[in-house]
A and B are shown apart, each in its own frame.
Chain A
């Protein structure tokens, strides 16, 4: 449900209240009314999985977890014609907008606490886990659920196993971190955790004027990016 425009410019200035954002909110409001499940505003992270697997919806923004679940229990999930659901699922990257293709992919990073007394073994462990041979074992059993983090992994033989997972091979090329085009820092995380961008769209869907929701969200962002 993310339509990505720049929130912040490279210098950390809030640029959310632009005519492009306004257009995206207006587009999204219409898109919501025409194509989305009206209960979606109450969804948590698992609702779309359940709705898709039960045949209530036919498209959703998600990682491969729905497909993986349908592979795991092939006889439980069926299409309306009785075929196995996993034979009727395809993945695709988010479509592009006027300014290009953007997506947010959940990124995981490993960190070691400064106060840790075991910094050296922790670093060694991370080095070991990320050594090509060890990382590869993990990468292969993920079967594409973990997208290729660098170009090198895009050419791995694992991607030839299942064409349904192929879009994840290059998915991260369009990935942007929180707070784009600014830094993905603490302030960007605060915006994310307060659901300000999500609520900007949610308020518009619930009937608030697009101009007002954009102004509201930009105002909230400015309080964070002081």
Chain B
């Protein structure tokens, strides 16, 4: 390499280094990948969805601007009203169960016992298995004809007719809540467990010395200290549950007679299944104000 070339390289390196030493430029460089991903995969589809919801676009057609017609039509759609109510019901009960069971599990796992690490890790399994896969397994267990649960209950003499797990509207909804809870409890438990481990044992000891029983220690020491973590977990869970799609799509497809349809699955059915892209987008956007309010 000639000394000229070396010189040039040194100048080049030092220019880059100098540029990166500038905090503003460094910040831009570090943020750029995240911003690009957000714009491409979150912002663009979101703006597109808003635009679609204001048009009467159908598959294979050219949409025209129709203002808020799609939203008005959705609001007068009796199926949509059922769906909207289902989504609230599903989210509320699934979150309540996940919080209660997750908290209980976290408190249990916070104790010392043999094979603690293995048990803590294995508890995450429902959360790790792809939702579609585990929901298929549940669907087989709730199968209207070949349900293993019905088979067992029948053979030990608990029932004489099959339980209508997915064929009765109310049963199907509670089954969906059960599966969602089964899947979501580990997330609650692990996050709450992490929160529990930051609480100093001294506080419990002090409370115990003052004569507080187990419930009082939980209610006056653990619960208030755990509140910030709990809030974050609940908000995350509400967002995910409210916009749930895969679980319902695989387990019931929204049936019987729309009794388990959620906003996301109905938006898909209208937008992709029926080809009414505008109306589907409008229905999915009904989730947005609710989720904003939650956050």
Which residue of chain B is the closest to A208 with respect to CB atoms?
Answer: B257
Residues A41 and B274 in contact in the complex (CB < 8 Å), given A50-B145, A223-B76: no
Task: Give Cα A220 to B257, complex, Å.
Answer: 14
A44 within 8 Å of B (CB atoms): yes
Residues of A within 8 A of B257 (CB): 41, 195, 198-199, 202-203, 206
Contacts of A54 in B (CB 8 A): 145-146
Known: A194-B274, A202-B256. A37 touches B78 (CB 8 A): no
Q: Is the CB of B145 within 8 A of A39?
A: yes
Question: A40, B77: Cβ atoms under 8 Å?
Answer: no
Q: Which residues of B contact A216 (CB under 8 A)?
A: 78
B164 within 8 A of A: yes
Contact A37 B274, beta carbon cutoff 8 Å: no
Q: By the criterion CB–CB under 8 Å, are A40 and B144 in contact?
A: yes
Does residue A152 face the partner (Cβ distance < 8 Å to B)?
no
In the bound complex, residues from chain B placing their C-beta under 8 Å from that of A41 are 144, 164, 167-168, 255-257
Q: With A39-B164, A41-B167, A206-B168 known to touch, is A47 a contact of B274 (CB < 8 Å)?
A: no
Q: Does B276 contact A (CB under 8 A)?
A: yes
B156-187 interface with A by 8 A CB criterion? 161-162, 164-169, 172
A54 and B161 alpha carbons, distance in the complex (Å)? 18
Is the pair B77, A223 in contact by a Cβ cutoff of 8 Å?
A: yes
Contact of B144 among A42, A189, A219 (CB under 8 A): A42
* Interface residue ranges of A24-71 to B (CB < 8 Å): 37-44, 47, 50-51, 54, 56
Tell whether A186 is near chain B: CB-to-CB under 8 Å.
yes
CA distance A113 to B61 in the complex (A): 11
With A42-B165, A42-B252, A42-B255 known as contacts, the answer to whether A37 contacts B79 (CB < 8 A) is no
A40 touches B167 (CB 8 A): yes
Residues of B within 8 A of A161 (CB): none
Distance to closest chain B CB from A131 (angstroms): 28
Q: Is B230 an interface residue (CB 8 A)?
A: no
Listed residue (A39, A43, A219) with the most chain B CB atoms within 10 angstroms of its CB: A39
Q: Does B258 contact A (CB under 8 A)?
A: yes
Q: CA–CA, A189 to B275, complex, Å? A: 9
Given A41-B256, A56-B145, is A193 in contact with B58 using a C-beta cutoff of 8 Å? no
Most buried by A among B253, B256, B275: B256
Q: Are B145 and A38 within 8 A (Cβ)?
A: no
User: Knowing A43-B144, A194-B269, A203-B257 touch, does A38 contact B274 (C-beta < 8 A)?
Assistant: no
Complex Cα distance, B256 from A44, in Å, reads 10
Q: How many residues does chain B have at the interface if contact means C-beta atoms less than 8 Å apart? A: 33
Q: What residues of chain B lie closer than 8 Å to A190, measured between beta carbons?
A: 274, 276
| Interface contact A42-B167, CB-CB below 8 Å | yes
Whether B167 contacts A189 by the Cβ 8 Å rule is no
Within 8 A of A (CB), among B50-92: 58, 60, 73, 76-79
> Do residues A206 and B273 form an inter-chain contact, with CB atoms below 8 A?
no
Near A by CB (< 8 A), chain B positions 252-295 give: 252-253, 255-258, 269-270, 273-276
Query: What is the CA–CA distance of A202 and B260 in the complex, to the nearest angstrom?
Result: 14
Complex-state Cα separation, A198 to B253, whole angstroms? 14
Docked Cα-Cα span, A34 to B73, in Å, equals: 39
Within 8 A of B (CB), among A187-226: 189-190, 193-195, 198-199, 202-203, 206, 216, 219-220, 223
Instruction: Find chain B residues with CB under 8 A from A42 CB.
Output: 142, 144, 164-167, 172, 252, 255-256
Residues of B within 8 A of A47 (CB): 143-145
Closest residue of chain A to B73 (Cβ to Cβ) is: A223
Point out the residues of chain A lying under 8 angstroms from B167, CB to CB.
38-43
**Chain A residues positioned under 8 Å from B79 (CB to CB):** 194, 220
Pair B144/A39 contact, Cβ less than 8 Å = yes
Complex: A56 Cα to B145 Cα, angstroms: 8
Closest approach, in angstroms, between the C-beta of A99 and any C-beta of chain B? 26
Please give the distance in Å from B235's CB to the nearest CB on chain A: 33
Which residue of the partner chain, among A39, A113, A189, A198, contacts B274 with CB atoms under 8 Å? A189
Q: Which residues of B contact A (CB under 8 A)?
A: 58, 60, 73, 76-79, 142-146, 161-162, 164-169, 172, 252-253, 255-258, 269-270, 273-276
With A195-B258, A198-B257, A199-B257 already in contact, 11 other A-B pairs whose C-beta atoms are closer than 8 Å: A39-B166, A40-B144, A41-B255, A42-B167, A47-B145, A51-B145, A189-B274, A193-B269, A193-B274, A202-B255, A219-B78
Q: What are 9 A-B pairs with beta-carbon distances under 8 A? A: A38-B164, A41-B256, A44-B253, A50-B145, A50-B146, A186-B58, A202-B256, A206-B256, A223-B73
